[in-house]
A and B are shown apart, each in its own frame.
Chain A
Amino acid sequence: MKQLTTVESMYSCVRCGACREACPTLSITGREADGPRGRVLMARNLIEGVIPVNDEIKEQLDRCLLCSACVDACPVDVAVPDIVMMAKEKISEVRPQEGVTGIVGKWVFRKLLPFPKRLQKLGHLLWIYQKSGLQMVVRKLRVLKLLSESLQQMERAMPEILPPSRRNPHPLFTPSDRKDLKGSSHSAPRAALFQGCIMDMMFRSTNENTIRFLAQSGFDVVTPGQQVCCGALHTHNGEKDTALELAKRNIEVFEQANVDYIVSNAGGCGAMLREYEELFRDDPEWLPRARQFCQKVKDVSEVAVQKGTIPQAAGQGERITYQPSCHLQYVMGVKDAPKKILRSVADAQYVELPEAGYCCGSAGIYNLLQEQMANDILDKKMGNVAKTRANVIVTANPGCLLQMKMGIERAGMQGSVEAVHIVDYIVEAMERNKQSQTAEDQEELQKQSV
């Protein structure tokens, strides 16, 4: 749990400026109001009632990506995103979001995301959209461009949805591939896959690959079917009650699963799961259960590096670079594990991405709400990608993945650069390695038989 409450942390900022160089929005405009110190002061003035709620202050606070890079840089851990959220809650109390956005938002947060079955149905619709030719029509007519350029680019970056027949529930149990344990009395550590809501609908194969990767890394993998959305989007959009309900449900489900680790493959979800303890800060009944839950939460790369083995994998001579997920690096504190895995891939060259610490601009739905800023951030990011001359950008969160795909489109790098999730990249490389091993083994056998 955090040492300071949000209010205490708000009053601890001495404005030393250690956050300045970490902040992506400040790096774009250079305006102090686009930096963490400025945001803490604006939020404080709003919360204290020194300044009234108005369009200007709302717009300013909405420009924060909530990426937490500043918290990581702060010597006294001032929780800038929490402070900004607190101010935004005050704004929505005074002026609740009205109109279509408000209604649609509420429907999505309360009636869609919490229900896996409804999400799967949405998945069916998207699949129909992609397969029926409607997508082609939409693209040809450039309907979406009328709404927003980002929306259009996002539609293009959308992954191919698997057909309903291939989206059955994941197997409840997948045994570890560890050969040394076969027949021994020791059992492999148990890892539960946290499948996520949108993740499981849109990036179904990444979840399947995560199970494969974990099994190969030495874990027995459990995927409880009753799990629900982590609640991150709810927390970031002032829907705290729904977030609490979702958290309780997940805590119960994963307690019953009786596992050593709860593994996420999306930095955004993992960070939220780690924050359950904070969510129940003032709830003595749920706090101990939340704490136990949080201690088990690990990112897929983290758990493989720390508690499993890195599977052998082989590339095909490509240059790879890594764009970290902010929630993974700053909230979960996982910085080196993904790089360690990528460096271990044979026949691929890992190159460090300059200014990798900056958010890519995805940040939940920020890229739709703050189009200009998000695009500026993304274009700068793609400039840095170009410097690496990498063919593959590896990411660790679905939002970042979509954003990098959009970035590739924007920069006209299609064909020369691709963006992939770390698990998908590694599993492919793992299988390539296995195939070449088998081929070598057969060659060896043939030689011996000759």
Chain B
Amino acid sequence: MDGRVILRLEQLFGKERVLTNQTDLMTYSYDASFATQLEPKEPEIVVIPQSTEEISACVKLANEYQVPLYPRGAGTAQTGGPVPVMGGIVMDLSRMNRILEIDHKNMQAIIEPGVVQANLNNALKEYGLFFPPDPGSAKMCTIGGMVANNSSGLRAVKYGNTRFYVLGLEVVLPTGDVIVTGGSKSKALKSVSGYDLAHLMVGSEGTLGIITKLRLKVLPLPSRRGIVLCSFSKLEQAGEAVNELFRSGILPSALEIMDQQCTKAANLMRPQLALPENEALLVIEADGSKEEVASQVKRITEVISKFTDYVKFSDEPEECQQLWQARQIVGAATGRLKPGGFRVYGGEDICVPLSRLPETLRKIHEIARSYNIVCAIYGHIGDGNLHTSPVINRRDKEEIENAKKMIEDIHRLAIEMEGTTTAEHGVGIVRAQYMEIEHGTALEVMKAIKRTLDPNNILNPGKMALPV
């Protein structure tokens, strides 16, 4: 690294916000992915900006010295997305975390990219509003990161993913120029004026620009929720039940599946749950007003009862909390399936057509068995998104190798099932190898867009199978 770069960065940010210590570089070598656990990638410099102007100047400087630059939020990605695979500068945006305006009259919020999802929702609650996309990491992930990865979560089945809530973005382009998408002065809730650049940025994973300000659409916060918990002896019955729910005109706010290993894990962690360890457990949520929830819960229960006798339901807040517990703890609980178990985040985000879900679940378990790996699967059955959770011993080298092969097989399976390798987490480095097979010639268009916006290949290089 050219010594002048550090000097110039220090002039720009002040010494306090330019980090070059060994320990600092070490701690920016990872995100939440399994891949970076195994192969951390250290940056040469870390900077912590506080304004759009600083970011723009920094990007221009990176262009001047031809140094790669990697934007990063809270580092909760499971894809290696924010790690510096080619050296250079990591830009930690988590300190730009101000909520600039809650414009409740216009049903929108204007925020900086480092605002954590849960913090925005806490602030919105006062106004009876909410920002619906809810990844499992809502308590720690930044909304800048959510937009960059177009993430979603449990309630995507009803509310969709982050994309639907992005009205406009302020973006520092890879050249350092600043643009505002979605209308530079607009506060409109809908606009079809011009190319939809805001949504070009959504899911671009920091390769096309650094998001510095966000204008987000928010919705009225439902006052209540109800939960239906039901168990099925066969996976196929669960699949049919979900299909029947949709055909009966019911759209739940969450529609979650846990397989046998998951219920086993949840029981291990909280024995008082006493869940039946059948092939499939569904946890279904309805939201709305008190009356709406009561009637929805009743209708859901009627439909489900055609397929199984094990149905529990409630629309009382405390009981709902009880019924929801199983789903709430499952991610952490899977580690209990094996003494000293380590839950691997890999092959964790595939999505397949609803009609092929039971088949896919069975095939994943076959793959796991062939590598002799303990594996639990849960996910958003309402949109076909499965979170596979292999559990290994973190210090067993052979098991690590097997887990890698298993992850590869699961991704191939998703494509074979007419699905995708990633529904809400992103591509980063861990799924770059499937970009061509998933997109064919469309990948060439993506590459062309990248080359046009980022001629020097400065922003987040080495990701998403884009040119390096």
- Is B75 close to A, CB under 8 A? yes
Given contacts A14-B342, A16-B137, contact A30 B94 (CB under 8 A): yes
CA distance A18 to B116 in the complex (A): 11
Q: Are B32 and A14 in contact (CB under 8 A)?
A: yes
Q: Are A33 and B24 in contact (CB under 8 A)?
A: yes
Task: Annotate B354-369 by CB proximity to A: 1 below 8 A, 0 otherwise.
Answer: 0000000000000000
- Is B184 close to A, CB under 8 A? no
Least CB distance, B112 to chain A, in whole angstroms: 13
Q: Are A18 and B140 in contact (CB under 8 A)?
A: yes
Q: From residue 1 to 45 of chain A, which have CB atoms closer than 8 A to chain B?
A: 4, 8, 11-12, 14-21, 30-33, 35, 37-38, 41-42, 45
Given contacts A17-B32, A17-B74, contact A31 B332 (CB under 8 A): no
Q: Are A18 and B139 in contact (CB under 8 A)?
A: yes
CA distance A35 to B28 in the complex (A): 11
Q: Are A12 and B394 in contact (CB under 8 A)?
A: yes
Q: Are A11 and B26 in contact (CB under 8 A)?
A: no
**In the complex, what residues of B have CB within 8 A of residue A138's CB?**
none
Least CB distance, B313 to chain A, in whole angstroms: 27
Least CB distance, A82 to chain B, in whole angstroms: 16
Q: Are B23 and A20 in contact (CB under 8 A)?
A: no
Q: From residue 215 to 258 of chain A, which have CB atoms closer than 8 A to chain B?
A: none
CA distance A82 to B140 in the complex (A): 23
Q: Are B27 and A42 in contact (CB under 8 A)?
A: yes
Most chain B CB neighbours (cut-off 10 Å) among A30, A51, A56: A30
Q: Are B137 and A17 in contact (CB under 8 A)?
A: yes
Least CB distance, B316 to chain A, in whole angstroms: 21
- Is B307 close to A, CB under 8 A? no
Nearest B-chain residue to A15, judged by Cβ: B32
Given contacts A17-B140, A56-B21, A75-B331, contact A11 B342 (CB under 8 A): yes
- Is B48 close to A, CB under 8 A? yes
CA distance A37 to B26 in the complex (A): 11
CA distance A42 to B28 in the complex (A): 11
Nearest A-chain residue to B332, judged by Cβ: A75
- Is A86 close to B, CB under 8 A? no
- Is A76 close to B, CB under 8 A? yes
Given contacts A11-B394, A60-B23, contact A17 B28 (CB under 8 A): no
Q: Are A30 and B32 in contact (CB under 8 A)?
A: no
The answer, among A20, A31, A73, for a CB contact under 8 Å with B74, is A20
Q: From residue 97 to 125 of chain B, which have CB atoms closer than 8 A to chain A?
A: 116, 118-119
CA distance A303 to B395 in the complex (A): 43
Q: Are A51 and B22 in contact (CB under 8 A)?
A: yes
Query: Which residues of A are in contact with B by a Cβ distance under 8 Å?
Result: 4, 8, 11-12, 14-21, 30-33, 35, 37-38, 41-42, 45, 51, 56-57, 60, 73, 75-76
- Is B385 close to A, CB under 8 A? no
CA distance A60 to B21 in the complex (A): 10
Q: Are B27 and A32 in contact (CB under 8 A)?
A: yes
Give the number of A-B contacts (CB < 8 Å). 94
Least CB distance, B297 to chain A, in whole angstroms: 28
The answer, among B141, B340, B394, for a CB contact under 8 Å with A4, is B340
- Is B327 close to A, CB under 8 A? no
The answer, among A15, A19, A45, A75, for a CB contact under 8 Å with B26, is A45
The 10 closest A-B pairs by CB, nearest first: A75-B332, A38-B27, A32-B27, A17-B76, A30-B95, A33-B27, A17-B140, A11-B394, A60-B23, A20-B140
**In the complex, what residues of B have CB within 8 A of residue A31's CB?**
19, 24, 27, 46, 48, 92
The answer, among B27, B74, B332, for a CB contact under 8 Å with A76, is B332
CA distance A38 to B116 in the complex (A): 19
CA distance A262 to B119 in the complex (A): 39
The answer, among A4, A15, A19, A56, for a CB contact under 8 Å with B23, is A56
**In the complex, what residues of A have CB within 8 A of residue B21's CB?**
33, 56
Least CB distance, A384 to chain B, in whole angstroms: 15
Nearest B-chain residue to A26, judged by Cβ: B94
Given contacts A14-B345, A41-B30, contact A32 B335 (CB under 8 A): no
**In the complex, what residues of A have CB within 8 A of residue B24's CB?**
31-33
- Is B343 close to A, CB under 8 A? yes
Q: Are B26 and A16 in contact (CB under 8 A)?
A: no
Q: Are B116 and A30 in contact (CB under 8 A)?
A: no
Task: Annotate B274-291 by CB proximity to A: 1 below 8 A, 0 otherwise.
Answer: 000000000000000000
Least CB distance, B17 to chain A, in whole angstroms: 9
The answer, among A32, A51, A56, A60, for a CB contact under 8 Å with B28, is A32
Q: Are A76 and B335 in contact (CB under 8 A)?
A: yes
Q: Would you mind naming 5 contact pairs between A and B with Cβ atoms under 8 Å apart?
A: A14-B343, A15-B32, A17-B141, A32-B24, A41-B27
Q: From residue 50 to 83 of chain B, which have CB atoms closer than 8 A to chain A?
A: 74-76
CA distance A41 to B36 in the complex (A): 12
Q: Are A41 and B32 in contact (CB under 8 A)?
A: no
**In the complex, what residues of A have CB within 8 A of residue B342's CB?**
11-12, 14
Nearest B-chain residue to A57, judged by Cβ: B23
Q: From residue 302 to 346 of chain B, which have CB atoms closer than 8 A to chain A?
A: 329, 331-332, 335, 340, 342-343, 345
**In the complex, what residues of A have CB within 8 A of residue B141's CB?**
17
**In the complex, what residues of B have CB within 8 A of residue A38's CB?**
23, 26-27
CA distance A8 to B338 in the complex (A): 12
CA distance A75 to B27 in the complex (A): 21
Least CB distance, A121 to chain B, in whole angstroms: 43
Task: Annotate B23-46 by CB proximity to A: 1 below 8 A, 0 otherwise.
Answer: 110111011100011000000001
Given contacts A14-B32, A15-B32, contact A33 B140 (CB under 8 A): no
Q: From residue 123 to 145 of chain B, which have CB atoms closer than 8 A to chain A?
A: 137, 139-141
Q: Are A33 and B23 in contact (CB under 8 A)?
A: yes
CA distance A97 to B26 in the complex (A): 26
